[in-house]
Structure 1
Amino acid sequence: LGITRLNLYAGLKGFYIIRDDAEGSLNLPKGNFEIPLMIHDAMFNPDGSLLYPTAEGGTHPAWIPEFFGDTMLVNGKVWPYLEVEPRKYRFRILNACNARFLRLTLMESDESGNSKGSPGPPFNQIGTDGGLLAHPVRLNTLTMPNTSRADVVIDFSGLMGKAFVLLNDAPAPFPDGDDYVIPNVMLFRVNRPLSGPDRSSLPSDLVPLSILDPGSAVRVRQLTLTEIDRESDGFPVIALLDQKRWHDPVTEDPKLGSVEVWELINTTEDAHSIHLHVVQFQILNRQPFDVDAYLSSGTLTFTGPPVPPAPNEAPPSGHDIVNTLPGSVNRIVARFDLPAGTPVHSGQRFGFVWHCHISEHEDNEMMRPYEIVVA
């Protein structure tokens, strides 16, 4: 707690890519046509060094609610461009911002990146945090909570001589904040001649996946997301999961191999990117509720029906990050397994964590230990 936000901001972040035989059989774009894109925001001092703002007056310097920079970087470069061939490319996108969510679109532009107002090629999403999807999902807009990953194919075929700007219009904080929005992320210029025939493909079927039945859950846990504000001005001073601090005793202790539904009750005004270590979960739905009534009585009064997840979130796709919207009960289902080959014995308890991945939140108590228990 306390320093992760600074380590990440200073540059301790990046990719490691895991492949398997199933992926290798799909004939996706590869080699020079598979490119990682790590997107994050920053601020700079006049001498070019990184600037991380101190807390507002009277607040402990370990805490600012969120960091939102004024400059966007991709792979460590400010406002970069990429020259591409008129063919399919695979992009592995990481939202590496401390706190900023992204809502990305491609728009046709001039060579300087000024949008012409017409949409560019779509994102064909083929994977998430949990690996490949069962089928590609075609999207014109790609929403990414911070630290989430998206594996996409973009087809620039037939677009020689054109340029496309990658834009972000996500409010900060998400989804209704009014902090600084950085629209321009990077520029694609389709100006390189084909180096050879494009023999890659975008299969209609990717990998077989199974839907995890929430009806098989042995337990439904209701867990709150809370921010406590300073009375004088409403400035947030601490963020909590289920009203508990990091050092409080473990309360989430699923049995090894069991299925549980977690209902993440977001009582705050902003979205949180909630991350569970070691397991992949499936997103079930989000349901709006009366926050004031819940805070006063502890009773959930729903104000609308459950909203199914977006197509690129929906089961059977696996995730380790969920965008928990404000004023919503955000439901996920998980099987609490361990990595294959882990030696176990009766009564053993394996410790992990779950937390908000907004760095400033997890550094100020919005992180809890949990244990997978061997029966």
Structure 2
Amino acid sequence: MLEKFVDRLPIMPVIQPLMMKNQIPYYDLTMKESMLKLHRDLPPTRVWGYNGLFPGPTFHVFRGQPIRVLWRSALPEKHFLPIDTTVHGADHGAPEVRTVVHLHGGVTPDTSDGYPEAWFTPGFQQVGRYFTNAVYEYPNDQAATNLWYHDHAMGITRLNIYAGLAGMYIVHDEEEQSLWLPDGEFDIPLVLQDRSFRADGSLYYPAEPTPPVEGVDPSVLPDFFGKTNLVNGKVWPYLEVEPRKYRFRILNGANARFYGLSLSNDLPFLQIGTDQGLLEHPVPVTNLLLAPAERADVVIDFSSSAGEEIVMRNGAASPFPQGKLPNPKTTGVVMQFRVKKHLSSPDHSNVPHNLSTYHVMNPVQSNNERNLLLSMRPDEYGRSIHLLNDQLWTDPITEMPRLGDVEIWSLVNVSNATHPIHLHLVKFQILDRQPFDAEVYENEGRIVPTGKRMKPALNEQGWKDTVRANPKEITRIIMKFEPYAGLFVWHCHILEHEDYEMMRPYVVVGKG
């Protein structure tokens, strides 16, 4: 058992542009292997990181100011985690080490979106069929929000992100900066992840599910849940805070673990933003549920807690929601806040009642509605695979919205797990969720609603790019497909599901 709260919370460094080219900031990042101390009592751990860092450096960009990024790989030619070559894209003949970067939540043309088959190998010696350019351009034409960048290579995304390839990307704008929110050293990103370790400090990722799959070794897992929680790359860290307000930009960067966050002294999180920007009004929550890839922008006011030691806890089941609750001594613990007794300077920050102007989309705006099944079936080896609309990655593309169209997607989840569904390119709003009769579906294959449509929680009534589609519910989202035509993807963000067929391409069809 590793001792808790012995390592200070790291703050990821802010990356600066290498140069300006035609008034556009130009960045250069290299994926490298490093040996890093992730806990005081662990030997150094081999990780893969952007510029060798885990998590990678944080981008701070401004709305309307595009940037260009050269993503390079200097990784080894062999992977240090177990590759299942029966997974599409990782089959025999594919290079073991392939990477491609996706800016999650970025409003980005498809040539810079990080399409899973647009991968490249170290030194660009080999490239995937959709590889276009090593230099990606991010327009940043979107409201202030907390995005993240991570690997998206076909068939090994779960392994590359577990190895360390993820980082924060924060967009600012004038509206956000006009507010008196906590800033500077009192504005801190928190990247939550889970990992397991061997005694020698190396990352442990199982090669076989339990029970093993006959004829497949190694085999993809249904889900992966680590035995420790990390924040900003440290196991169970602590953060010294002053008795004042702090802003935390929280990302669930885990492979499959949901986090149900609470504070041991019952302080509320004052949520001010979701995946895609500020909420209209702040929402106090004492239990903050985040699926993999979801983000929450929150303010915690420690002013009444001087001298206390506060633990951030996790109460979410794994798998969610039908699995086991976390062990309160291990995965039920995230980090610790140590509140000092005195301020270093007065706290002039404020969380106003009106944060942002929020336009609510109306279902009557919709040009088209789609019913999309989230289902399961056995593969040729008898493994249960999760599917979108009962289709494999290689099946013909069926979702082809037109540029500028508004669509409603009804995600009908007939499985037993909550799936965090992410769409590239677009932001959306959650309309509602509605339960249906599981027994009727099992026996007759019909979807029969059993209750009213329920509005999302107040802290979900903002712009999103990842939605929790709960089991035996119909989750409706509405979005406008803009501003780019092209080839994109939508998928479950449980990485083991995504890698193993729960991902589909979609095309935004241009006008004319």
Contact kept? 2:213, 2:383, Cα under 8 Å: no
String of CA shifts for 1:127-168, please: whole Å, max 9, x gaps. Answer: 111111111111111010111100000001132111211000
Structure 1 Cα separation of the partners of residues 490 and 375 of structure 2: 15
Structure 1 Cα separation of the partners of residues 444 and 401 of structure 2: 28
CA 1:22 to 1:154, structure 2 compared with 1: closer, same or farther past 3 Å?
Answer: same
| Equivalent of residue 195 in structure 2, options 22, 42, 63 | 42
Q: Are residue 100 (structure 1) and residue 253 (structure 2) matched? A: no
TM-score, with structure 1 as normaliser: 0.90
Contact kept? 1:68, 1:180, Cα under 8 Å: no
| Equivalent of residue 15 in structure 1, options 168, 182, 190 | 168
Contact kept? 1:84, 1:192, Cα under 8 Å: no
Contact kept? 1:227, 1:236, Cα under 8 Å: no
Partner of 2:472: 327
| Equivalent of residue 184 in structure 1, options 325, 333, 339 | 333
Contact kept? 2:422, 2:466, Cα under 8 Å: yes
Q: How far off its partner does 1:67 sit? A: 0.2
Greater relative contact order, per chain length (Cα 8 Å cut-off, separation 6+): 1
| Equivalent of residue 363 in structure 1, options 475, 478, 499 | 499
Worse-matched range after superposition: 303-312 or 7-16? 303-312
Structure 1 Cα separation of the partners of residues 383 and 272 of structure 2: 38
What fraction of aligned residue pairs are identical, expressed as a percent?
51
Structure 2 Cα separation of the partners of residues 150 and 236 of structure 1: 34
Structure 1 Cα separation of the partners of residues 362 and 504 of structure 2: 26
Q: Are residue 227 (structure 1) and residue 372 (structure 2) matched? A: no
The one-letter code matched in structure 2 to 1:283 is: I
The one-letter code matched in structure 1 to 2:367 is: V
Q: How far off its partner does 1:296 sit? A: 4.8
Give the SS at the match of 2:167.
Answer: coil
The one-letter code matched in structure 2 to 1:38 is: V
Give the SS at the match of 2:440.
Answer: helix
Q: How far off its partner does 1:179 sit? A: 6.7
Structure 1 Cα separation of the partners of residues 307 and 385 of structure 2: 51
Q: How far off its partner does 1:231 sit? A: 11
Partner of 1:245: 392
Give the SS at the match of 2:220.
Answer: coil
The one-letter code matched in structure 2 to 1:209 is: Y
Give the SS at the match of 1:8.
Answer: helix
The one-letter code matched in structure 1 to 2:435 is: P
The one-letter code matched in structure 2 to 1:249 is: P
| Equivalent of residue 142 in structure 1, options 288, 291, 296 | 288
The one-letter code matched in structure 1 to 2:507 is: E
Partner of 1:198: 347
CA 1:296 to 1:221, structure 2 compared with 1: closer, same or farther past 3 Å?
Answer: farther
CA RMSD of aligned residues (A): 1.7
Give the SS at the match of 1:318.
Answer: coil
Contact kept? 2:316, 2:325, Cα under 8 Å: no
Q: How far off its partner does 1:293 sit? A: 2.5
**1:183-332 to 2 correspondence within 5 Å?**
183-191=332-340, 193-229=342-378, 236-314=383-461, 317-332=462-477
String of CA shifts for 1:25-51, please: whole Å, max 9, x gaps. Answer: 001100000011111111001101100
The one-letter code matched in structure 1 to 2:354 is: D
Structure 1 Cα separation of the partners of residues 227 and 325 of structure 2: 10
Contact kept? 1:63, 1:237, Cα under 8 Å: no
Structure 2 Cα separation of the partners of residues 208 and 138 of structure 1: 19
Structure 1 stretches of 4+ moved >3 Å: 229-232, 295-298
Uncovered stretches (5+) of structure 1, i.e. residues with no partner: 109-118, 343-348
Worse-matched range after superposition: 269-278 or 305-314? 305-314
Q: Are residue 164 (structure 1) and residue 164 (structure 2) matched? A: no
Q: How many residues are matched? A: 351
The one-letter code matched in structure 2 to 1:73 is: L
Uncovered stretches (5+) of structure 2, i.e. residues with no partner: 1-153
Structure 1 Cα separation of the partners of residues 341 and 249 of structure 2: 21
CA 1:296 to 1:254, structure 2 compared with 1: closer, same or farther past 3 Å?
Answer: farther
String of CA shifts for 1:168-221, please: whole Å, max 9, x gaps. Answer: 010001112127541110011111531111011111101101001112111110
Give the SS at the match of 1:250.
Answer: coil
TM-score, with structure 2 as normaliser: 0.66
Contact kept? 2:435, 2:449, Cα under 8 Å: yes
Q: How far off its partner does 1:79 sit? A: 1.1
Structure 2 Cα separation of the partners of residues 362 and 179 of structure 1: 24
Partner of 1:112: none
Partner of 2:319: 173
Partner of 1:374: 510
Structure 2 Cα separation of the partners of residues 236 and 133 of structure 1: 41
